[in-house]
Structure formats: C-alpha cells, structure tokens
Structure 1
Amino acid sequence: MIEQSAKQTIRIELEETARLLDRIDDAFEAAVQCILSCRGRVIVTGMGKSGHIGRKIAASLASTGTPSFFMHPAEAFHGDLGMVTEQDVVLTISNSGESSEVVNILPIIKRIGATIIAMCGRRDSSLGRHADHFIDIGVEREAGPYGLAPTCSTTATLVMGDAITVSLIEARQFTAQDFALYHPGGALGRRLLLTVANLMHQDEENPIVSETRTAKEALFTMTEKGLGAVSVVDEKGCFVGLVTDGMIRRSLEGGNAFLDQPIADIMTREPLTIPAGEMAATALHVMEKHEPRPVTVLPVLDAAHHPIGMLHLTDLLRSGVI
C-alpha cells in the first residue's frame, strides 16, 4: 500500500510537471527578458507553501547573478513594502491567484511602479489580471487522495522557478567562476577561487639547494622542510631540477656513496612544475594525471624560472580542494 501510494504520487507529479513544457512560450520568454532588463532587484513573494517555494527561488536567483530576496506578503502589508522600488520586479506566487495576503499588496506594488510577474495557475484570477507578465504553473490535479494538500502545484512552481533561474544563468553567461564568487565557503568555491599561490610553501618554507651541493645536503634540506622534495637551482637561482625522497631511497639501493656526489647526478631535470597563478584545482589535476604514476609535489616557478614555492598534495587536501 505504501509503495503503491509513493509510486503513484511520483507518477502524477511527473505527468503534471511534463505539462510545463508547453508553457515555455513567448509569455515565459517575455517574463525572463523583464528580469534580465531589471535595474533593481527581483522580489519574490508568496503565502504558505508558495512562500516556501518562493524562498528557494529567491535564493537560487541571488546565488546565480540575479539580485533577489524573499518578502513575506503579510509583513509587506505592515511595512516591508518599503523595500520595493519602481526599478524592481516582484515575482508573485499563488496557485489559485486569490491568496488574500498576496492580492492585497498588488495595488500598492502597482502604485510604487514595480513590475509584477505572476506565477499562477489561473490567468483570470486577481493576481493574473494585475500582473504585467504571467507564467502559467497550473496543474490539473494534486497527488493526494483528496486533492487538498499542495503537491503537484508546488512541484510545478519549483520546476518553473528553476527554469527561470537556468534561463537567466545562460542569458547572463554566468560562469562557474562567477558562481564560486557567491559561494566561497562551498566546495566549488574552494576549487575555483584558491590558487597555487594561496597554498604553496614559500620563503623559509620553500626547500631549495644549489646544484653544486651534495645529495647529503639536499637530504638534510628536504628533511628540515618536511615536504619530501627539494628544488635544485643553478648559480643564477634558476630552476634546473627536482629531487624527491623517493629518488633518494631508490639511489640507496646501490649503496650510499652517491650521498657525497653533486645532487645534479640524481635529480630529475624536467619535472612537472606549475605557475603560482594557476588554480589549485588545476594543480590537483596535474598531480593526479601524471604518468606513469601520480606525483605529490609540484615546484612553483615564476616567469623568470625561479622556484618561488613548493605545493604538496596534503596542502590541497587540507584546503578542501580534494
């Protein structure tokens, strides 16, 4: 019984949501164009369940490049209408189009001069008649046994709100980098905002030795800095190679005589490197995709080929990029 009820609910909501495809028409495009040309904010309002969906729509718009906030219609009638200006677009949500709290503020919004977009199930409703633009979210039935609880209607509103949001994202050419700016605390923000320069070990923490030094001296420097690698430079301070603890271990298999030889004898002369301005996510990709095996460190070079830092895989792990 429970399984049948749940599946029937999903089937009905899918059917009702599919009807929205026919509502993406000239009226929908005109409403989206209205938001695109808005010089103010998009103010979303709705009562009850429509209000809950409205809050989500407002949040989605705000996080994707369209300044927006939710205004409770009851609070609007008691002073919050002062937040509305003639440059704003008010996105009003009501399935019936007759919610008294919403309908009561419409004449005042008109008087202020803001543009009204109605997300409504009836064009001939009070809300539909007052609106400058109308988006049809009407459904033929709700999913519940008595058709009383908002189910399909709220789902349709949410889906249409997402359709508006995504249409605006593409029209504004809103990029992942733009999204990250509004979500600096999220995983995407960390991946797209952090650069190698933000995470690399530099100055006293940056392990560097001259190519004239011995392998033993390089090992001491490597141990002191604790990054498992050391950049090797020539007499001009330019990067010429890299030595890792793995190279040292492999060399020890043939004895320890090499420890007194110049480090240039065992270093890798063309290792992977990265500029400081690259994104941390790019550095992670470079490390993971290296053949024949992934690497754990990347020397960071400036334009003059000087090693200005060292990036370790654990730095990416701690920052949340991974």
Structure 2
Amino acid sequence: MFYEYALISVVIACGYWGIYFVRRQPHGTMTFGLMQLGAAALAGLGLLGRKYDDVAALGVAGAIGIGAGVCLLVIGPLVRGLARRFAAAERLGIASRLLDVAELLTPGSGIAEEKAVLGAMKEIRDGRIEETVDALNAAKDRAPAEARLAIDERIALLYLAAYRWTDAIAHAEAHLFPSGDASRPRKAGETPPPEAHAPGSLRAALGVAPPVWVELLGAYGRTGDLDRAARMLAKLEDVCDGREDASLWIHRARMMFLALAGRTGAVRALVAPRRARHMSAAARTYWMAVAHEH
C-alpha cells in the first residue's frame, strides 16, 4: 500500500509541476518540466503494473518513476538549499560541489545561474577580477552567438559582486541592454537573447537573467540614478505580473529600490518575517541600515 501511495504522489506532484514548468519555462528551458512529466508517466505505468502483475516492465518503470520523482522533488531541492547555506557561510568550495550535484539531480532548474554567482564570489575572494574578465572576454570572442549573452552576464555579475557599480553598468549598457537603455523594449531587427524561443521565460522577456536584472537595478540606485532604477522596477513588475515563480525577484527588486530611496517604513514592511520568510535576520538588518543611510 505504501508503494502505491508513493506512485500516486509522484504522479500528482510531478504531473502538476511538470505542466507548470513546461508552460512557464521560468529558466528558459523545458528540460526540468519534461523530466517531471516523464517521472509522472513512469509512475503512472507503475500504478498500472499493480493491476497486471505478469508485466514486469511496468513494475520497473514505476520504480524508475519513483526514483526520478524523489530526485527532482526532494533530494535535488534539499541539496540546493544546503548549498545556499554553505555559500552564506562562505564555504564556497563545498557549496560549489553541492550545486554540481543539485544540477545533476534537477537539470534545467536554474542552478546554472546560481553557479555563476557563486563563481563570481570565488573569483572576488581570490582577488582575480581583472584576470577573469580578460579571460571571459577572450572566450567570448571565440564563443558561438548563443553563449555570448551568458558570458556578458557573468562579467556583469563579477563587477556587481565586487561592488564595482559603475563598471557593471558600463558593461551592461555596452553588451546587455539595447541602445544602453534597460527599460526600452527591443526593436525589430535587434538581436534577441538566445532564450527568445522560450516565450514564457523571464529571461526572454527581460533580455537578461532575472538575477542580473535585479542586481543592475540596485547598481543604478547605488550610483544615484533612481529614475533608471524605477523604470527597471516597473518593467520587471510588468513582465512578472501574475507569475508566482517571480515573487522573490519582485520582492528583492522592490526592497533594493525602496532602501536606496531611503523609504525606511516601506522597507521595514517588506523585510518583516511574515512577508520575507526567506531572509535571514542579518539580511533584514542590512537592508534597514541601507534605508536609514539613504
């Protein structure tokens, strides 16, 4: 009976989230959603096999479905969460290896973006900013067109993580934003991002990965260009309207903008534990301090 409950759980959970990720494609690819749908289908075959004991292949399919579902829905997210904890504690080596494992267990779930941020943190800690930027620029010259956007995003993240706001903005305006304006939509004839074939993804709508967009919004705010930051926030809210998967990006963007604008009351409301359960006490204190400073 327990085995049947496990099969039913995988069918329901993987079926629901599989459809969600295939339709929404928040990370610009259907891979994660398709894998969940595959796990749901295999678990469904396993349920069918409970009625036809003479077909051993159905039982094997069910076992594979349960294993895949556990990896996609339980083990992968747990490993990813553990990696974030190690990254917050600056145990970057362990965090990197855990993210590698999580990416293997849940491909296409956006872990590549977290690995890019973690890589930037490691390079900053080792004091290799300029060398890394030069190496990335050299690699970009040899890279295919679909890889150049990711390299430019990595360079921008390096500057952002090193608090080099002006350099990050200059690089983004030269390589990531059309005509240097983040809030302007692309015109006909301008090169779309590689993820343009995934109309439901935030990256396709924004032109860059959501973490890069949000942190660049903060960079504009820190350099005093609150008008540009406000336009970026407005575009992000428009793109993310009705999307539950974008709630964290909306929350962080609003919090950063309001803190850099000195709106202490609004920031206090945003970082309240009931509205920001994902934030640590230290992060709440930091953003309140930023709001008071500005």
What TM-score, normalized to structure 1? 0.21
Larger RCO (CA within 8 A; separation ≥ 6): 1
Structure number with larger C-alpha Rg: 1
More helix by share: 2
More strand by share: 1
What TM-score, normalized to structure 2? 0.23
